[in-house]
Amino acid sequence: MKRNLCCLCMAIIMAMTVSAQVSDNPATAATVKLGISYVHDLPGLNGMGVHGEYGFPITDWIQVETGFKRIQASGYPRTETVKEYTKSTTFDFNVLFVPFSSENSAFKIGGGYSFVFYNLRRSIPVFSGAGTAKEESWQVVDTRSMTNGCSLIGEYEYYISANVSAGARVSLAKAYSGHVWMGGPFVAIKL
């Protein structure tokens, strides 16, 4: 299954590249987006993230993107003695549906599939003792690995000029330890 998804994502990227090289139509020009986001990583970590995407419209209503995210979040969600954190780098493949668009703006919703490389620190309660006299301590667990998962995306884009736009993006991803919410502004430039 993972192999099929990886092949599908590579096919989308190749189609985007070939279409971008062949097309002279400004309506089908590729777009590069860069943004910064607030991140909330369950179990209660907060931080910042940066994201960048390279996108290309397949039709007037469908756009495909490939991109990256870098997330850093930390906090004390379980105990005041252990500072937990999440550091991850994500490579995304997204398909966005454009249900509403005008000369000045567009609203997009869609989903994607991500490949995530992460480094986590979590605390786990350990109970010792017998009966009602149990003592609680916190064990620190550091994890470094790779996984993959799905995401949901909502985006509003306002066209400042023919080649520059700005907007806001919200996403919910399921990847390594729970659900990760990201939201923030971005700037896009047509190539």
Query: What pLDDT score does 68 carry?
Result: 93
Measured distance CA(149)–CA(114) in Å, rounded = 5
Query: What pLDDT score does 14 carry?
Result: 58
Mean pLDDT, contiguous 10-residue spans, the chain (191 residues): 58 57 61 94 88 90 93 88 89 94 93 91 83 80 90 95 94 79 94 84
Measured distance CA(68)–CA(81) in Å, rounded = 33
Q: At a CB cut-off of 8 Å and minimum separation 6, what does 137 contact?
A: 125, 126, 128
Query: What pLDDT score does 25 carry?
Result: 55
The CATH number that domain 2-19+29-76+86-118+144-190 falls under is: 2.40.160.20
* Residue 55: closest CA among 133, 181, 169, 182: 169
Query: What pLDDT score does 59 carry?
Result: 87
Query: What pLDDT score does 69 carry?
Result: 93
Measured distance CA(64)–CA(184) in Å, rounded = 20
**Which residues, in sequence order, are bridge partners of residue 117?**
89, 146
Cα–Cα–Cα angle for 5, 168, 67, rounded to 5 degrees: 30
Distances, alpha carbon 77 to alpha carbons 40, 93, 179, in Å: 12, 31, 15
